[in-house]
Amino acid sequence: MTAGSAPRRIALISVHTSPLAQPGTGDAGGMNVYVWQTATRLARRGVEVEIFTRATSSADAPVVAAAPGVTVRNVVAGPFDGLDKRDLPSQLCAFSANVLRAEAAQEPGYYDLIHSHYWLSGQVGWLARDRWGVPLVHTAHTLAAVKNASLAAGDAAEPMLRVVGEQQVVDEADRLVANTATEVGELVQMYGADPSRIDVVVPGADLDRYSPGDRAASRAALGLDQNDVLVTFVGRIQPLKAPDVLVSAMAPLIAGDSSGRLRVLVVGGPSGSGLAQPSALMDLTRQLGIADRVDFLPPQPPERLVHVYRASDLVAVPSYSESFGLVAIEAQACGVPVIAARVGGLGVAVDDCRTGVLVDGHDIGVWTDRLAELVADPDRRAGMGRAAALHARQFSWEHTTDALLESYDRAIAAFGGDVRRDAGRFGIRRWRNRSRVMV
């Protein structure tokens, strides 16, 4: 292909979690949504997308036609289950070998570009880039150095293996995609990234699905009381996401609520370090004496998640670290105000004091005060909800896809003039030929 045109076909690498997995379970979360939404929209623009992800079940078909123009390749690398995300570096060799073999079975030049998601995928993409002679675009989604700088109490630090691995990918990728200008600063300051190789591509929401709707109908669909004041948490239940901060901050408000109508709804499942104590959040509600006022729902598919948002009076995102915060945008798109920690991309996702409230730090008393102000003022919440729906309109997956295509174009244009990689291509074809014989 020539510079200035969209790639014909891209290899999208997502090692540790499949875009077909239910967000909120295991390691599946906002990245899954991002990968799926951008892949399907790229396909609608005429770009074929092949997603490589690790098979986690013997029932996974090797190749799945997931959507028009989108193929998911379930790569066998290690046991199907029982592997924590921290164990996956040991399987990168097996994963990479199978990715390279899949390409070697095609005609030379099958892929025009590689887009890797998360550092594990970046390691695979780095090798494939050098073998295939195509540019590598990388999105980190989260950064170890950022997470380690703002750990929740009792949470485990990201290992040095990951920090080093991320540094390697940052150094090697042809272009880096950051969610916000804040993330650009983190890449430059903490990883020494070249700012001229970073593109800001803001994530979005499925605005066709997430939009204001009938609160009463949504509450009826979920079996919730029409008269309750509902503060909701949506996400993986782990220290990083800080659902315990919300529960602890709501406890004194619930204790002082004579109406009996103030409730908390938690939607999600244990993940990451939260798997070590999967019942910890429920145990906390009992210790605080509010177990009868906190409801738990498992992760919800999009068609039911929209009802969760619409049914809520307020959505809380108290994370210790968040590269963007898709939940905040999805909730606001449904016309619901958001109270969020002032970390990472949440400062972009939430327009402070207009579409919600940003809280500095994670002091329980401060969170209680801010929540109390919002819970006591339905008119303020209603005004914020109207503003939130308008604010969210600027965060569409179509805009994200536009920006990704621009980043791809820059990567392809710059790669074509890279003497080091042009020289590498002479060895690439010989490697391919050997692979075809082996396969």
Residues annotated within a binding site for 1D-myo-inositol 3-phosphate:
16, 27-32, 85, 118, 142, 162
* Distant-in-sequence, close-in-space partners of 97: CB < 8 Å, separation ≥ 6: none
Residues 213, 311: Cα–Cα separation, whole Å: 9
Q: Identify which of 145, 210, 179, 236 has the alpha carbon closest to the alpha carbon of residue 34.
A: 179
> Which residues, 6+ apart, have CB-to-CB distance to 47 below 8 Å?
6, 7, 8, 9, 10, 69, 405
Q: Whole-angstrom Cα distance, residue 430 to residue 225? A: 67
C-alpha–C-alpha distance, residues 54 and 52, integer Å:
7
From the list 347, 330, 343, the residue with the least C-alpha distance to 388 is 330
In this structure, are residues 344 and 362 in contact, taking their beta carbons and an 8 Å threshold? no
CA distance 267 to 79: 29
CB 67, CB 31: distance < 8 Å: no
Binding residues for Mg(2+): 309-310, 312
**In terms of C-beta density within 10 A (0-12 exposed, 13-18 middle, 19 or more buried), how is residue 367 classed?**
buried
Question: Residues with Cβ < 8 Å from 371, sequence gap 6 or more?
Answer: 231, 249, 250, 253, 314, 316, 339
Question: Torsions phi, psi of 346, nearest 5?
Answer: -65, -25
Annotated binding site for UDP-N-acetyl-alpha-D-glucosamine: 22-23, 30, 236, 241, 300, 322, 330
User: What residues have CB less than 8 Å from 182, skipping those under 6 apart?
Assistant: 344, 345, 347, 348
Contact assessment for residue 19 and residue 57, using Cβ atoms and an 8 Å cutoff: no
Region of residue 296 (left: phi > 0; alpha: psi -120 to 50; beta: else): beta
Residue recorded with tokens 């006591």: 376
Q: Which two tokens stand for residue 182?
A: 């804040």
98 Cβ contact list (under 8 Å, min separation 6): 75, 76, 77
Q: Enumerate the H helices of 280-417 as residue ranges.
A: 280-287, 302-311, 326-333, 346-349, 364-375, 378-392, 397-415
First CA to last CA distance, the chain: 27
Dist CA 271 CA 30 (whole Å): 13
Known binding-site positions: 16, 22-23, 27-32, 85, 118, 142, 162, 236, 241, 300, 309-310, 312, 322, 330
